[in-house]
Chains A and B, each alone.
Chain A
Amino acid sequence: MAFRLTRLALLACAGLAACAAPAAEGPKSASTKENPSAEPDDPYPSTYQPYPGMPTVVRNVTIFDGEGGRIDNGVIFFVSGKIASIGGPDTPIPADIAVFDGTGKYLTPGIIDIHSHLGDYPSPSVDALSDGNEMTSPVTPDVWAEHSIWPQDPGFSRALVNGGVTALQILPGSGNLFGGRGVSLKNVYARTMQGMKFPGAPYSLKMACGENPKRVYGNRNTKPSTRMGNIAVDRATWIKAREYQKKRAAGKEQTRDLGMETLADVLEGKILVQNHCYRADEMANVIDMAKEFGYKVTAFHHAVESYKIADLLKENGICSAMWADWYGFKMESYDGIRENIALVHNAGACAIVHSDDENGIQRLNQEAAKAIAAGRRMGITIPDEVAWEWLSYNPAKAMGIGDKTGSLKIGKMADIVLWNGNPFSVYTRPEKVWIDGAMMYDANDPKKRPVSDFELGQIGAGDVK
Chain B
Amino acid sequence: MKRTPLCLAATLLASLSVPALAQTIAITGGKLAIGDGSDPVENGTVVIANGKVVAAGAGVAVPAGAQQIDATGKWVTPGLVSGFSRMGLVEVTYVSETNDSTAEKSPFSAAIDVSTAINPLANPIAISRTSGITRAVVVPEGSGSVFAGQGAVIDLGADMAPITKAQAFQFVELGETGAKRAGGSRPAAYLLFRTSLREAQDYARNPAGYDGRSKDSILTRADAEALVPVVQGKVPLMVHAESARDILAALDLRKEFPALRLILAGAAEGWTVASQIAAAKVPVIAGGIEDLPARFETIAATQSNVGRMEKAGVMVALGMFTGDDGLQVRTATQQAGNMVALQKVPGATGLSWGQALRAISSAPAEAVGLGDRIGSLKPGRAGDVVIWDGDPLELESAPVAVWIDGVAQPMENRQTKLRDRYATPAPGQLPKAYEH
Interface residues of A (CB under 8 A from B): 1-6, 9-10, 123-126, 154-155, 158, 162, 307-312, 315, 325-331, 334-339, 343, 347, 358-359, 362-363, 366, 369-370, 372-373, 376-378, 420-421, 424-429, 443-444, 446, 454-455, 458-460, 463-465
Contacts and interface: CB of A to CB of B under 8 A. Distances in A.
Nearest to B297: A124
A330 B93 contact: yes
B171 to A, nearest CB: 9
Contact of B291 (A158, A312, A334, A459): A158
Given A329-B323, A329-B327, A378 B301 contact: no
Given A6-B323, A10-B94, 17 more contacts: A2-B86, A9-B93, A124-B294, A154-B293, A325-B331, A327-B127, A343-B419, A363-B289, A363-B334, A369-B395, A370-B334, A378-B419, A426-B394, A427-B341, A443-B346, A459-B244, A465-B303
Nearest to B240: A1
Contacts of A124: 293-296, 299
Contacts of A366: 334, 338, 395
B274 interface: no
A337 B418 contact: yes
A444 B346 CA distance: 6
Interface residues of B, number: 73
A5 B346 CA distance: 33
In the A-B complex, the 6 residue pairs with the closest CB atoms: A426-B337, A460-B300, A6-B323, A369-B395, A464-B347, A373-B396
A329 B94 CA distance: 6
Given A4-B294, A307-B425, A331 B95 contact: yes
Interface in B308-334: 320-328, 330-331, 334
Contacts of A347: 425
Contacts of B173: 3
Contacts of A429: 341-342, 344-345
A330 B98 CA distance: 11
B208 interface: no
B344 A420 contact: yes
A162 B304 CA distance: 13
Nearest to B139: A1
Contacts of A425: 394-395
Contacts of A9: 93-94, 323
Contacts of B346: 443-444, 464
B426 interface: yes
Contact of B423 (A309, A376, A378): A378
29 contacts: A1-B320, A1-B321, A2-B93, A2-B323, A2-B326, A5-B94, A123-B294, A124-B294, A126-B295, A154-B293, A311-B426, A311-B427, A328-B90, A328-B123, A329-B323, A331-B92, A343-B419, A347-B425, A359-B289, A362-B291, A372-B396, A426-B340, A427-B394, A443-B346, A444-B346, A446-B347, A460-B301, A463-B347, A464-B348
A330 B92 contact: yes
Contacts of A315: 427
A378 B328 CA distance: 21
Given A343-B422, A427-B341, A465 B302 contact: yes
Interface in B109-134: 123-124, 127
B422 A454 contact: no
Contacts of A463: 300, 302, 304, 347
Contact of A328 (B92, B397, B422): B92
B55 interface: no
B159 interface: no
B290 A334 contact: no
A347 B90 CA distance: 33
B415 A327 contact: yes
Nearest to A1: B321
B157 interface: no
Contact of B341 (A158, A428, A444): A428
A330 B347 contact: no
Contacts of B289: 359, 362-363
Contacts of A454: 293
B259 to A, nearest CB: 26
Interface string B18-59: 000000000000000000000000000000000000000000
A459 B93 contact: no
B232 interface: no
B93 to A, nearest CB: 4
Contacts of B185: none
B322 A2 contact: yes
Contact of B92 (A4, A329, A339, A455): A329
Interface of B: 84, 86, 90-95, 101, 123-124, 127, 139, 141, 173, 177, 240, 244, 265-266, 269, 272, 289-296, 299-304, 320-328, 330-331, 334, 337-338, 340-342, 344-348, 393-398, 415, 418-419, 422-423, 425-427, 429
A459 to B, nearest CB: 4
A357 B60 CA distance: 47
Nearest to A370: B395
A427 B93 contact: no
Given A1-B139, A427-B337, A123 B293 contact: yes
Given A1-B141, A1-B266, A9-B93, A464 B293 contact: no
Given A429-B344, A443-B346, A328 B418 contact: no
Contacts of B295: 4, 124-126
Contact of B419 (A329, A337, A376, A458): A337
Nearest to A309: B425
A337 B425 CA distance: 15
Nearest to B299: A458
Contacts of B322: 1-2, 4, 6, 359
Nearest to A372: B396
A308 B92 contact: no
B123 A377 contact: no
A329 B324 CA distance: 7
A327 B124 CA distance: 9
Contacts of A362: 289, 291
Contacts of A155: 292
A464 B302 contact: yes
A38 to B, nearest CB: 43
A155 B394 CA distance: 25
Contacts of B101: 2
Given A339-B419, A464-B348, A329 B292 contact: no
A405 B320 CA distance: 36
Contacts of B396: 369, 372-373, 376, 424
Contacts of A335: 418
B58 to A, nearest CB: 25
B340 A427 contact: yes
B338 A426 contact: yes
A326 B327 CA distance: 9
Given A3-B240, A339-B419, A424-B396, A459 B272 contact: yes
A420 B299 CA distance: 28
A303 to B, nearest CB: 14
Contacts of A378: 419, 423
Contacts of A369: 395-396
Nearest to B398: A377
Given A3-B240, A420-B344, A464-B346, A326 B328 contact: yes
Contacts of A10: 94
Nearest to A334: B92
Contacts of B423: 343, 378
A43 B152 CA distance: 58
A5 B326 CA distance: 11
A465 B173 CA distance: 26
B422 A308 contact: yes
Contact of B299 (A339, A446, A459): A459
B325 A2 contact: yes
B400 to A, nearest CB: 10
Nearest to A463: B302
A429 B345 CA distance: 8
